[in-house]
Structure 1
Amino acid sequence: MPFVIGPAWLSSTVRRRKNEFMNPSAVVELLRLLDDAQIEVWLDGGWGVDALLGVETRPHQDVDIIARVSDTEKLRDILRGKGFVIQPGGTPSNFVFADSSGREVDVHAVTFDENGNGVYRMAGGQDWIYPAAGFGGQGTVSNVPVRCLSPEAQVLCHAHGYPPTKKDIEDMERLRARFGVELPAHLRRAVGSS
């Protein structure tokens, strides 16, 4: 059996089951790896919500991160070096890497304009604007401070682009309960539902 230094999810020498979840220690190790490489990222999606809440509320197969366009080649090289493989169907500003266990890193690359807004180029060529204030979110994963989108930015991202799933609505309800953010009607649980 090979000797492995560091978390098992980073090592391509460890055999794993398919469809393992991206657990808190894996998220922290990924963020430390990127921080050591001077790549600044912000958590988005499910782990972004859980970081804001300071607790893992559900299992996550992936971690969504926002990074600068200028850091994407370096980020890609680091992930490849840790056994991650780019998945088909991505764009220059949105791509997914997966390891042999099925855990995924979903990258959204932005450029920052003169006002600090994150400009994300969508597949159809339109620009989606992350408001500058949205990059001020602070959270924790396993008691480790992390950068993440603010609660308001999380709601904005979940309110547009795709029909919300049950877990999206539950995530948004948790943010509303903790931070008092306003939710559009389609992100609210129906009264009386569980």
Structure 2
Amino acid sequence: MDEQTAKQLRVIREVTGLMRAHDIPAWLFGGWGLDARIGRITRAHGDVEFWVERVHAERSKALLVEAGAEALPTQPPEESCEFTLGGVAFSTAYFDRHPDGSFSQPLGRFADWLFPPGSFGDEPVPLDGTPVLAMSVRGMLAMKEQFPQLRHGRPWRPKDIADMAVLRELAAE
């Protein structure tokens, strides 16, 4: 494990511990979310990404800043907040729950992004010995598959294509 991966794991532990202590669920997604679902670290990651329900957005941001994270003014505040902590970049993106069990990010650039029921479950999975919440396989696959068609989406990168193949295999299990 390289130094950056070790630092990112420390941030994941700090953020998940802090959020858990304050009853704010935070789900990993992106590369770290996929690694959590696979059960092992598969590659180096550029950042750490968490989903937080919008009702907890301001409180989670305040708790993270109080714990030493620096909130960066780089994202529309209705969508997400980027932070640094100990030289590690991470973010919290915000979603809303709907009565039919689905989820979305209805404010901001990605208002057309929809996540299926079950995308944000309550069962933690182990990541390097730490229990973490991670977006479901179905949810991450829906995220990846929709991205190029979103109003503000972009084409899949090679790692997105590879991740979708892994997610499809996991979904078939």
Q: TM-score, normalised by structure 1?
A: 0.72
Extract unaligned runs of 5+ from structure 1. 1-18, 182-194
Identity %: 25
Q: 1:116 to 1:179 in 2, by over 3 A?
A: closer
Worse-matched range after superposition: 47-56 or 151-160: 151-160
Partner in structure 2 of residue 39 of structure 1: 24
Whole-angstrom distance in 2 between the partners of 1:99 and 1:24: 12
Partner in structure 2 of residue 106 of structure 1: 91
The question of whether the paired residues in 2 share the 8 Å contact of 1:53 and 1:139 is answered with no
Alignment partner of 1:175 is 2:167: yes
Partner in structure 2 of residue 62 of structure 1: 47
Partner in structure 2 of residue 189 of structure 1: none
The question of whether the paired residues in 2 share the 8 Å contact of 1:93 and 1:109 is answered with yes
Alignment partner of 1:152 is 2:144: no
Structure with greater helix share of residues: 2
Whole-angstrom distance in 2 between the partners of 1:138 and 1:31: 11
How far is 1:138 from its partner? 5.0
How far is 1:125 from its partner? 7.1
Letter in 2 for 1:156: A
1:48 aligned to 33, 45, 51, which one? 33
Letter in 1 for 2:130: V
Worse-matched range after superposition: 172-181 or 145-154: 172-181
3-state SS of paired residue (2:120): helix
Q: 1:105 to 1:163 in 2, by over 3 A?
A: same
3-state SS of paired residue (2:163): helix
How far is 1:44 from its partner? 0.9
Report the number of matched residues.
162
RMSD (CA atoms): 2.4
Extract unaligned runs of 5+ from structure 2. 148-152
Partner in structure 2 of residue 27 of structure 1: 12
Whole-angstrom distance in 2 between the partners of 1:152 and 1:167: 18
Letter in 1 for 2:166: R
Worse-matched range after superposition: 132-141 or 142-151: 132-141
Partner in structure 1 of residue 106 of structure 2: 121
Q: 1:129 to 1:177 in 2, by over 3 A?
A: closer
Whole-angstrom distance in 2 between the partners of 1:108 and 1:73: 11
